[in-house]
A and B are shown apart, each in its own frame.
Chain A
């Protein structure tokens, strides 16, 4: 810490504390005291976090076969996979989200067997479309990352495993996959932060995440900036937690140092 707290940093930290103090003292934070809004804010943070976790996990489960197909698959698997990644990466997420929500949302009610199925109460809500769109987005972006990771594992490792008579799935599970993940871990942290940053888009299709809560407070109370500032702080805190989590994960993965 000796290197960090040099005099100019102390001055800057003091200025930062002054700015924060000024924000707390002069801006309008009375709405934060209302229990109604506190409950809503907690609900919003919780929704943002579970959407992030669910879409990251599902998206990565899709990204692994997508990356594998592009790195080592036959042409009839690799071509559709890279076309999918190109499609997802080439169009805005907001457009994909609206296509799924408004498109499928207007198509499903016109199909009788979907309306009568047990899934209908779920499909009528907005969150399945939000989760689907974000999952596909994570799969598209991370599929490309996983392709590079699978290709980056030294070929000799796989050949050695094959020469030892290891079955193909065991090679994948014990040799290929762990080394690919070790390479991709730092990038994956960045991808998670990027996904976090795209979660507020789901508010445009009526999912109540933290962004939607802050918009509602702004509409109810006519306070313009303060909910936005709180929002920025909340997102920075979550992003910081993600960075710390991945740093911890990276420290757990043994790295061979020659």
Chain B
């Protein structure tokens, strides 16, 4: 009851124009979404390479990829972000200095995408590996026997068939990406969660702001679930549903 009363009187704080924080929150939301998209795409690229390496690479490649996925999945994201954030920025600067360039300031945006992308890559590797394994081997062997070049084989045979198996895992990974952007608040990057806390502690309207941010995250998750549902239905077109025969 009391919180409801507080919220009614503090709802003005969410207005768009400067006494309200609406525009600031929207900008922070945009940054969060951009980082999530960047990290997810980078993770997908790493995942494609990783999955092919794990399935078709040499024994050493496979072992190294195993170490990468195990470490990333056992150590908290927050700590990986701290280690990679510092290591990434300082190693780039060391590289630049050793080549005779000036030290540069790496933006939190780029570092955030790089760090979350490395984390996402480990999970994407496992998801894509499982999806590729779900393609019946006879299909790939048949395509090879017909003399299909490897790239065309990947595009025409493996990719369309693994997509249906990969989409649920990738949808989950995308939701994790949107939520993991909140961890960048801890290293001081002004994404939605950190801006929300700044707004809340300036105005003392904690419930209003945290619930507003929660609603924004929830909206992202609901919209993404709908979109990925559509994509999965499209990827499964032509498949026989169990029980329909």
Report which residue of A92, A193, A197, A228 has the largest number of chain B beta carbons within 10 angstroms of its beta carbon.
A92
Closest-CB distance, B120 to chain A (whole angstroms) = 14
User: Does A84 sit within 8 A of B, measured CB to CB?
Assistant: no
Q: Is there an interface contact between B75 and A92, defined as CB atoms closer than 8 Å?
A: no
Contact of B217 among A92, A98, A110, A199 (CB under 8 A): A92
User: Does A256 sit within 8 A of B, measured CB to CB?
Assistant: no
Q: Is there an interface contact between B60 and A91, defined as CB atoms closer than 8 Å?
A: no
B contacts with A, residue count (CB < 8 A): 43
Q: When A89-B221, A91-B218, A98-B193 are in contact, do A200 and B78 touch as well, CB less than 8 Å?
A: yes
Give B165-196 interface residues, CB cut-off 8 Å to A: 175, 179-183, 185-186, 193, 196
State A92–B182 Cα separation when bound (angstroms): 7
Q: Is there an interface contact between A236 and B74, defined as CB atoms closer than 8 Å?
A: yes
Contact of B60 among A8, A93, A98, A102 (CB under 8 A): A8
Q: Is there an interface contact between A106 and B217, defined as CB atoms closer than 8 Å?
A: no
Q: Is there an interface contact between A90 and B218, defined as CB atoms closer than 8 Å?
A: yes
Q: Is there an interface contact between B214 and A91, defined as CB atoms closer than 8 Å?
A: yes
Give A32-83 interface residues, CB cut-off 8 Å to B: none
User: Does B206 sit within 8 A of A, measured CB to CB?
Assistant: yes
Residues from chain A with a CB closer than 8 A to the CB of B217 are: 90-92, 95
Q: Is there an interface contact between A232 and B83, defined as CB atoms closer than 8 Å?
A: yes
User: Does A150 sit within 8 A of B, measured CB to CB?
Assistant: no
Contact of B221 among A90, A98, A102, A200 (CB under 8 A): A90
Q: Which residues of A contact B (CB under 8 A)?
A: 6, 8-9, 12, 86-87, 89-96, 98-99, 102-103, 106-107, 110-111, 193, 196-201, 204, 211, 224-225, 228-229, 231-232, 235-236, 239-240
Interface contacts beyond A197-B77, A200-B78: sample of 14 additional A-B pairs, CB < 8 Å, sorted by A: A90-B221, A92-B217, A95-B196, A99-B210, A102-B200, A102-B201, A106-B206, A107-B2, A196-B76, A197-B74, A225-B83, A228-B83, A235-B74, A236-B74
Q: Can you name 28 A-B pairs with beta carbons within 8 Å? A: A8-B59, A8-B60, A8-B63, A12-B63, A90-B218, A91-B218, A92-B181, A93-B182, A94-B186, A95-B217, A96-B214, A98-B193, A98-B210, A99-B211, A111-B2, A211-B76, A224-B86, A225-B87, A228-B79, A228-B82, A228-B83, A228-B86, A231-B79, A235-B75, A235-B79, A236-B74, A236-B75, A239-B74
